[in-house]
Structure 1
Amino acid sequence: MPDHPVDVRLVALDMDGTLIGPDGRVPPSFWPLLEQMVDRGIVVVAASGRQYATLRTLFGEAASGMGFVAENGTLVAYRDEILATDTVAPEAAAGLVRAARTAARERDIGTVFCGVRSGYIERHDARFHDEVAIYYEALELIDDLLDVDDRALKVSFFDVDSAPDAAPFFAPFTDTQQVVVSGPHWIDVMNPGVHKGSGLDRLRTLLGLQRDQIVAFGDYHNDLELLDAAGYSFAMANGHPDVHARARYIAPPNTEAGVVTVLRELLG
């Protein structure tokens, strides 16, 4: 923990592996803390690979007073207003869909076209659908992802066995796109320079805050830039070693509601 008082004005929270516990739920002890932060004028930001609609549902009525860095930074919103989106060129999105179809000949992998309006999948089996539905409240099953009439914020891939092992199938896109292993089973592909950190910087600038007034929490590779954008960065104890190396501090694991523990101490 910092050895001095911290002027906390914004708290940025990754969801899976960080705030959300292994049971898939936000710890009950977080909700009164959220209310206290709002009462004190602290902006709470959900920074996640999850869909904006999913995050809003997760936080319920509190969402209207929050900030969101959704879809790994490709959509930024604050107090019910979408401030920015960054979309993949249609030809690039189509190429990624085709690459995943090729990979599926060798691996158990499925594709999510992460649109501005909705998420879209063409793989209809219950196992894949139920996994995707955790992260995509707005989700449509269609016959062909190449026919989607929406702009792609990113294209994501769920590999049943290991996302790092599937990443080489998307290596040809690294010259023009950003390929991120965002979880043990997930790969996200989006435009270069777009990440949770760039989304957080947009909000910080809008609100006129300094980096040393920002506290951020994360656990995996797609949180690295988020932690860089905060003056006080916490890696979860259960997080990836690369995240530990990048953060200034280590928080208790999400299995012990580590975010709550740290915030209670920081906020007194």
Structure 2
Amino acid sequence: MPLFRTPSPLRSTPEAADGPADIRLIVTDMDGTLLDDAKQTPRHLWTVLELLRERGVLFCPASGRQYATLAREFRPAARGMVFIAENGAYVVRDGVEISSDPLEPGVAPRIVRTVRDLAASGVNVGAVVCGKRAAYVERADGPFLAEVRKYYVEHQVVTDATAIDDDILKVALFDFGPVARATAPALTDFADTHQVVISGAHWVDVMNRTAHKGAAVRRLQRELGITPAQTMVFGDYLNDLEMLEAADWSYAVANAHPDIAKCARQVCPSNNENGVLRTIARALRLPGVAL
């Protein structure tokens, strides 16, 4: 199985001719999409979220980050918000699990051993074993932990990451070099049975085939009675592909990976130009929001 699929052809996005668009669910990736390159949330975010809440529109962050990290980022507005964490493997609302798709026992240890072999061969790589309670790492050096802390608030350094007592949702690998050069190809055997998704220039994730952001979005749509025509989605990288296909209102930010730009119906301004909020405000005609 290839590491990523061929994107769908570019399609047009519906436009609201009279009044605001009938949007009930807005899902956005975080890094490279909602957040700017400095990892900062956009100005007016809390104002926009309050306006969406008043209109009954559910705003849903969808990220490779862990749930604890997302909940902290959105603490001022987290009540009632659905968080799609761990690239769709863990979905939580108000601290209550909605769904999860953990790896079978034995898979994570195999990946950890693969990473150990890569490191022994000279690749500057480390594994993050992502559980429901915390993320677990064997590497304890400062540069690696600095990268881990950006996405995993709850993390522990352990002596043996193959012996974790937790439900493991995914294993994320961070390569200080280009992840597609050595680390991603080393996971080819796992791609036959699992998803191997490059989620950034230095990150690659291994999850169940059924665990991705698109599956989480479609489940939310079914449970809430929301259609793809009432769903707006924003993304920038290959792990956003399936969720873009779950929405009629699908946008790639201008800085997106070329394959994501081909998959999305439209391209909006970049993450550094507040593209997500500007697009939401325009489509829903939010009053008094200067972006």
Give 4+ residue runs of structure 1 displaced > 6 Å after superposition. Answer: none
CA distance in 2, matches of 1:33, 1:146: 43
Partner of 1:248: 265
Residue identity opposite 1:34 in structure 2: L
Partner of 2:232: 215
Q: Percent identity?
A: 43
Q: Which has the higher contact order (CA 8 A, sep 6+)?
A: 2
Partner of 1:106: 122
SS in structure 2 opposite 1:216?
strand
CA distance in 1, matches of 2:80, 2:30: 18
CA distance in 1, matches of 2:282, 2:35: 19
Partner of 1:258: 275
SS in structure 1 opposite 2:109?
helix
Residue identity opposite 2:92 in structure 1: A
Residue identity opposite 1:179 in structure 2: V
Q: Which runs of 5+ in 1 are unaligned?
A: none
CA distance in 1, matches of 2:148, 2:81: 24
CA distance in 2, matches of 1:227, 1:54: 23
Partner of 2:33: 18
Alignment RMSD: 1.1
SS in structure 1 opposite 2:172?
strand
Instruction: Say yes or no: does 1:159 pair with 2:169.
Output: no
Partner of 2:145: 129
CA distance in 1, matches of 2:221, 2:94: 14
2:220 pairs with 198, 203, 223, which one? 203
Are the counterparts in 2 of residues 235 and 244 from structure 1 also a CA contact under 8 Å? yes
2:91 pairs with 73, 76, 82, which one? 76
Instruction: Say yes or no: does 1:180 pair with 2:197.
Output: yes
Are the counterparts in 2 of residues 64 and 80 from structure 1 also a CA contact under 8 Å? no
Q: Cα offset for 1:153?
A: 0.1
Q: Which moved more, 1:98-107 or 1:43-52?
A: 98-107
CA distance in 2, matches of 1:24, 1:61: 17
Q: Cα offset for 1:79?
A: 3.7
CA distance in 1, matches of 2:165, 2:55: 43
SS in structure 2 opposite 1:226?
helix
Partner of 1:43: 58
TM-score (norm 1): 0.97
Q: Cα offset for 1:2?
A: 4.2
Could you report, residue by residue, the CA deviation over 1:134-178 in whole angstroms, capped at 9, with x for unpaired residues?
100111111110121112100010000111112111111111111
Q: Cα offset for 1:193?
A: 2.3
TM-score (norm 2): 0.90
CA distance in 2, matches of 1:177, 1:210: 28
SS in structure 1 opposite 2:61?
strand
CA distance in 1, matches of 2:201, 2:282: 31
Could you report, residue by residue, the CA deviation over 1:75-119 in whole angstroms, capped at 9, with x for unpaired residues?
112343211111111211110000011111221001000001100
The 5-angstrom pairing of residues 83-94 of structure 1 reads 83-94=98-109
Partner of 2:187: 170
